[in-house]
A and B are shown apart, each in its own frame.
Chain A
Amino acid sequence: MTSDVKTEKIDKSLFEFAEYDSKNAELIGYSNYSYWRSTLQVFLKNKIAVILLFVVVLLLLFTVVQPYLPNQHSPIKINVDADGLQLRNLPPSSEYWFGTNSIGQDIWSRIWSGTRTSLFIGLTVGIIELIVGIFVGSIWGYVRKLDPIITEIYNVITNIPTTIILILIAYILEPGILTIIIAMSVTRWTSMARFVRNLVIIIRDREYNLASRCLGTPLHRIASKNLLPYLVSVIMLRLALAIPLAIGSEVFLTYIGIGLPVDIPSLGNLINEGRMFIMTPSLRYQLLFPTAVLSIITISFYVMGNAFGDASDPKNHI
């Protein structure tokens, strides 16, 4: 460093005594960080996820609106021609967009009806998981005496292969939507509960929470500003992933014969029906169309869920 610093360049006023100002003393460092804005910013950077978000929104809208559109067939109606004969295995046409199946039902409308069923199962399982997981998790974290008991229950459940629990429950109960929801929910709350428990234990006594409490922040504000951001990423991720998982479980259970009954149109039933014609090239569309739609749905939800999970994690914010 050179020593020829000119003394007259130093601002003399900086070295004067400051006068006490009660207003300035209350001022603290402040950044205009906003949780939701940062989340959005990080999410929008992921171009593929944004495109898939549009796909998901369109899919959701379409599955809801589809039955009310003109020229749609009923998913369970067996279509017949003028002579009363079933329109079996019709190839895709302008009337039946994805063709008809082996008893003359419209595959296009069956796909969307099946998607509705799967979305319903997925959302229900996701919401049950949230409620049970957050409730059990907070008790697990807060109440010390219950910790060993819940830990033991958790260990037992997570030690059994999920597939086996799924099969066992679906085998014992009557086949149906409710059974699948129960079978999936029995195991799925555990990881949420464990996450919330760890969160409660770690964050409860962090310095900034202590500081917040000392400054007199009300509990609901601590919960919504200090705790919720940590939960949002996991909640969104698990909700989004519940849908591909619900579809996968339903397809699996239907494949081994204990899923939804054949009279409920579902993606699993569609794939199972299509599987029968796998060796007949001219009828393969009955497998290709359902699997294509199913793949688009599951991939969109999976990628979008992960991207939003990453984006809403405060650790990834700038």
Chain B
Amino acid sequence: MASLYLQKKGGKMSKYVIKRFFRSIFTLIAVITVVFLLMRMMPEEGYFGETGTDKLDESQKEAILTNLGLRDPMHIQLLHFYSDLAKGDLGDSLIYRPNVSITKIIKQKAPYSIAIGLSSLGFALILGLSMGVVMAKEKNKLADKMGTFYVVIIRAVPPIVYYLFIQLYLTQIFKLPLLFDIDEPSSWILPTFAMALGNIAGYAMWMRRYMVDELNKDYLRLARAKGLSERKIMVSHVARNALVPMVQYLPASILFTIGGSIYIESLFSIPGMGGLLVDAIQLQDNNLVQALVLMFSVVGILGLFLGDVLMAMLDPRIKLHSSGGGR
């Protein structure tokens, strides 16, 4: 049925995808420009590398800044920046690893972030959805109340608090390593688990809500009347229908994972992008901060794009209208 439907609205669909794609590109250009212009407002100390500000006199500083192209008119700088970006060149790190290409640094770091991020997303999806189903089935009973309690705690308390306690107590209780170690698979468990907590709460909360909505619908009475087992009703009707609107939370959870990775990676010293961002900020490495902020924005924009397209494909009820606030 779904494929038939897709064929029917195929023309509209591809039009929507193209339109949505251009909106993402537009956003990307806006973000790049704004980030670039904002970074030019930074104090210039961040551009002198490890030689430091005090050892250089004014003419040397000027020479460095001119060399970096920072004395050119703003539009020329922006043009240079775009042409470098098109070549995949994000500039060189200034302080973190002086004169090393940022693309190279990111290439080393990204696999860790992607691996942990994806595994925590998958983990959260399975656990969160099943938790939501259980909570809806046990509505107003103990399991539901405990689940709600968990959701409230996770959503209200700043993540760093429970991340810290996980690192402090769970490592002791389960005898797991405190810090990340590439050769030690058990050191992956806690960071992945900690990063998933927030998304589990989100998925469980929305899944429960959609399940409860679905449980109040008339077609369930028919399903019961024709003698379907309660289990079958739950799995193939209620849960299935409730899953469709869940797709819209996928992008949000990708964004949440990005935010979480910044905490988790520096707490567990995982050599990934989030930890790198914290290091770059603390070292005031302007180029690296700029590059990482752009990278994270690209991931976020891409995630939202994919989420919107996926949702349009899955949910036949969604109207592919062109105007109005997207999300």
**Contact between A160 and B301, CB atoms less than 8 A apart:** yes
Q: Does B30 contact A (CB under 8 A)?
A: yes
The residue that B255 contacts in the complex, of A162, A258, A291, A302, with Cβ under 8 A, is A162
Which residues of chain A have C-beta atoms less than 8 A from B156's C-beta?
244, 295, 298-299, 301-303
**Contact between B325 and A155, CB atoms less than 8 A apart:** yes
Which residues of chain A have C-beta atoms less than 8 A from B289's C-beta?
171
**Contact between A294 and B157, CB atoms less than 8 A apart:** yes
Question: A258-B281, A302-B155 known; A151 and B26 CB under 8 Å?
Answer: no
Contact pattern, B 284-308, Cβ under 8 Å of A = 1, otherwise 0: 0000010001001101110010000
Q: How many A-B residue pairs have CB under 8 A?
A: 121
Which residues of chain A have C-beta atoms less than 8 A from B323's C-beta?
147-148, 151
**Using a CB-CB cutoff of 8 Å, which residues 276-292 of chain A contact chain B?**
278, 287, 291
Question: A171-B281, A247-B158, A278-B164 known; A159 and B262 CB under 8 Å?
Answer: no
The residue that A164 contacts in the complex, of B155, B165, B263, B297, with Cβ under 8 A, is B297
Which residues of chain A have C-beta atoms less than 8 A from B168's C-beta?
278
**Contact between B159 and A163, CB atoms less than 8 A apart:** no
Contact pattern, A 158-185, Cβ under 8 Å of B = 1, otherwise 0: 1111111001110110000000000000
Which residues of chain A have C-beta atoms less than 8 A from B152's C-beta?
299, 302-303
**Which residue of chain A has the shortest Cβ distance to B29 in the bound complex?**
A156
Q: Does A248 contact B (CB under 8 A)?
A: yes
Q: Does B11 contact A (CB under 8 A)?
A: no
Question: A159-B304, A160-B297, A299-B152 known; A291 and B259 CB under 8 Å?
Answer: no
**Using a CB-CB cutoff of 8 Å, which residues 169-225 of chain A contact chain B?**
169, 171-172, 194, 197
**Using a CB-CB cutoff of 8 Å, which residues 102-158 of chain A contact chain B?**
147-148, 151-152, 154-156, 158
Which residues of chain A have C-beta atoms less than 8 A from B259's C-beta?
161-163
- Please measure, in the bound complex, the distance between the C-alpha atom of A148 and the C-alpha atom of B26, giving whole angstroms: 14
**Contact between A251 and B160, CB atoms less than 8 A apart:** yes
Q: Does B35 contact A (CB under 8 A)?
A: yes
Which residues of chain B have C-beta atoms less than 8 A from A298's C-beta?
156-158
- Please measure, in the bound complex, the distance between the C-alpha atom of A218 and the C-alpha atom of B161, giving whole angstroms: 51
**Contact between B164 and A156, CB atoms less than 8 A apart:** no
Question: A155-B27, A161-B255, A197-B325 known; A291 and B164 CB under 8 Å?
Answer: yes
**Most A CB atoms within 10 A — which of B156, B159, B282, B293?**
B156
The smallest C-beta distance from A161 to any residue of chain B, in angstroms, reads 4
Which residues of chain B have C-beta atoms less than 8 A from A162's C-beta?
255, 259
**Contact between B35 and A168, CB atoms less than 8 A apart:** yes
**Contact between A155 and B300, CB atoms less than 8 A apart:** no
Which residues of chain A have C-beta atoms less than 8 A from B301's C-beta?
159-160
Which residues of chain A have C-beta atoms less than 8 A from B326's C-beta?
155, 158
- Please measure, in the bound complex, the distance between the C-alpha atom of A258 and the C-alpha atom of B152, giving whole angstroms: 28
Q: Does A271 contact B (CB under 8 A)?
A: yes
Q: Does B233 contact A (CB under 8 A)?
A: no
Contact pattern, A 248-280, Cβ under 8 Å of B = 1, otherwise 0: 100110011110000000000001000100100
- Please measure, in the bound complex, the distance between the C-alpha atom of A4 and the C-alpha atom of B41, giving whole angstroms: 94
Q: Does B88 contact A (CB under 8 A)?
A: no
Q: Does B24 contact A (CB under 8 A)?
A: yes
- Please measure, in the bound complex, the distance between the C-alpha atom of A158 and the C-alpha atom of B301, giving whole angstroms: 9
The residue that B278 contacts in the complex, of A164, A172, A256, with Cβ under 8 A, is A256
Which residues of chain B have C-beta atoms less than 8 A from A164's C-beta?
258, 293, 296-297, 300
Which residues of chain B have C-beta atoms less than 8 A from A291's C-beta?
161, 164-165
**Contact between B157 and A172, CB atoms less than 8 A apart:** no
**Contact between B161 and A167, CB atoms less than 8 A apart:** no
Q: Does B73 contact A (CB under 8 A)?
A: no
- Please measure, in the bound complex, the distance between the C-alpha atom of A303 and the C-alpha atom of B155, giving whole angstroms: 10
Which residues of chain B have C-beta atoms less than 8 A from A278's C-beta?
164, 167-168
Which residues of chain B have C-beta atoms less than 8 A from A156's C-beta?
26-27, 30-31
Question: A156-B26, A161-B296, A164-B297 known; A248 and B158 CB under 8 Å?
Answer: yes
**Contact between B164 and A275, CB atoms less than 8 A apart:** yes
Contact pattern, B 187-210, Cβ under 8 Å of A = 1, otherwise 0: 000000000000000000000000
**Contact between B281 and A295, CB atoms less than 8 A apart:** no
The residue that A287 contacts in the complex, of B27, B30, B164, B296, with Cβ under 8 A, is B164
**Which residue of chain A has the shortest Cβ distance to B31 in the bound complex?**
A160
Q: Does B277 contact A (CB under 8 A)?
A: yes
Q: Does B38 contact A (CB under 8 A)?
A: yes
Contact pattern, B 231-274, Cβ under 8 Å of A = 1, otherwise 0: 00000000000000000000000010011001100100000000
- Please measure, in the bound complex, the distance between the C-alpha atom of A162 and the C-alpha atom of B297, giving whole angstroms: 10
Which residues of chain A have C-beta atoms less than 8 A from B27's C-beta?
155-156, 159-160
**Contact between B281 and A271, CB atoms less than 8 A apart:** no
- Please measure, in the bound complex, the distance between the C-alpha atom of A298 and the C-alpha atom of B153, giving whole angstroms: 9
**Contact between A172 and B42, CB atoms less than 8 A apart:** yes
Q: Does B175 contact A (CB under 8 A)?
A: no
- Please measure, in the bound complex, the distance between the C-alpha atom of A299 and the C-alpha atom of B152, giving whole angstroms: 7
**Contact between B282 and A256, CB atoms less than 8 A apart:** yes
**Using a CB-CB cutoff of 8 Å, which residues 157-181 of chain B contact chain A?**
157-161, 164-165, 167-168
Question: A156-B27, A159-B27, A160-B27 known; A168 and B158 CB under 8 Å?
Answer: no
**Contact between B161 and A294, CB atoms less than 8 A apart:** yes
**Contact between B160 and A155, CB atoms less than 8 A apart:** no
Which residues of chain B have C-beta atoms less than 8 A from A161's C-beta?
255, 258-259, 296-297, 299-300
Beyond known contacts A169-B38, A171-B289, A295-B156: 9 more, CB 8 A cutoff: A152-B26, A160-B301, A163-B296, A164-B258, A171-B281, A251-B158, A271-B164, A278-B167, A295-B161
Q: List 26 A-B contacts (CB under 8 A).
A: A151-B325, A156-B27, A158-B326, A160-B31, A160-B301, A161-B297, A161-B300, A163-B296, A164-B258, A167-B277, A167-B281, A172-B39, A194-B325, A197-B325, A244-B156, A252-B263, A256-B262, A256-B277, A271-B161, A271-B164, A278-B164, A287-B164, A291-B161, A291-B164, A295-B157, A303-B152
Nearest 3 pairs of A and B residues by beta carbon: A302-B156, A248-B158, A161-B300
